[in-house]
Amino acid sequence: MATISAKDVMKLREQTDAGMMDCKRALEEAEGDFERAAEILRERGIAKAAKRQGKVAAEGVVYALVEGKTGTLVEVNCESDFVANGEKFRAVVEAIAKQILSTKPANVSELLASDMGGGKTVETYISEQTGVIGEKISVRRFALYETEGFLETYIHMGGTMGVMLDFAAPETAETKTLAHDVALHTAFTKPAYIRAEEVPAEVLEKEKAIMMQEVLNEGKPAAIAEKIVLGKMKKFYEENCLLEQKFVKDDKVTVKELLSRTAKTVGAEIAVNRLVFFVRGEGIEKKTEDLSEEVAKQVEAMKK
């Protein structure tokens, strides 16, 4: 086997824009032949994938997978809604979710570096699939839960948003119905915290300061302003803490009261230990261009 130096790998990388490990493997397979190595990268779609790295991937899906007492909620992005709804992309997302459950990575970097078998990493797999599908694919984030209770997930509108809840409760028909309702509620209200005690002190102080200034600006005396702020803080908890929120299906009860009511029915305590929700593409700046400008760019590219 030909000896592959770091300089050789860098040279191929500069020619193809492919990843370092992909270039190294291609050179090893081609026994040091640069032209053949470049062809191997093109055949695998990796060189093509590299060209798409500058694209904005703000579409895609939020996907949930639960196996026993382990589950993941993952957001995988692509460039267009058309691809996001395709079977090939959905198969990629499912494969990534299964990899998360099997390897239990701590973060996206560990996930991308994990072995999918045959020496192929998730990063290589994604590069290959980018070439097959023709759009940039990226794993943006994921949550991994292992529980002693049970997990409930909810995916909205085919993957535009997803929720995963960790319930401390016996898994019965009644508790599963409750969990589904709370997951649906979470998707609708998007609480920042589960319970009031979880709100950081600095967040509370900031909110109180803003509210106090707002009330004082209205001309209220300081003594009265403090009582008004207390009332406003109650409203803050009701808006931001899951257990304090009015249940979306019945605003006469809070989520906490709903859990308590079901707990009495099943004769066991019920608690929400953790929750996570992802909104697809949230915070990703989508690149928009005038159609005439886009056409002009393509014409210029054809001239080169």
Query: pLDDT digits over 132-190, tens only?
Result: 888 889 999 999 999 999 999 999 999 999 999 999 999 999 999 999 999 999 999 99
Q: What is the mean pLDDT of the chain?
A: 88
In a domain, 287, yes or no: no
Domain at 98, CATH number: 3.30.479.20
In a domain, 89, yes or no: yes
Least confident window among 114-118, 241-245, 299-303: 299-303
Task: List Cβ neighbours of 19 (8 Å cut-off, separation of 6 or more).
Answer: 13, 46, 50, 123, 124, 127
In a domain, 295, yes or no: no
Please count the structural domains in the chain.
1
In a domain, 91, yes or no: yes
> What 3-state DSSP class applies to 88?
helix
In a domain, 86, yes or no: yes
Going by pLDDT thresholds of 50, 70 and 90, the confidence category of residue 297 is low
In a domain, 180, yes or no: no
In a domain, 40, yes or no: no
CB atoms within 10 A of CB 220: 16
In a domain, 142, yes or no: yes
> What 3-state DSSP class applies to 284?
coil
Going by pLDDT thresholds of 50, 70 and 90, the confidence category of residue 39 is confident
The whole domain housing 108 covers: 59-146
Query: Do residues 170 and 268 touch, judged by C-beta distance below 8 A?
Result: yes
Buried/exposed 104-116: b ≥16 CB within 10 Å, e otherwise: ebeebeebbebeb
68 φ/ψ angles, rounded to the nearest 5 degrees? 65, -120
Query: Do residues 80 and 59 touch, judged by C-beta distance below 8 A?
Result: yes
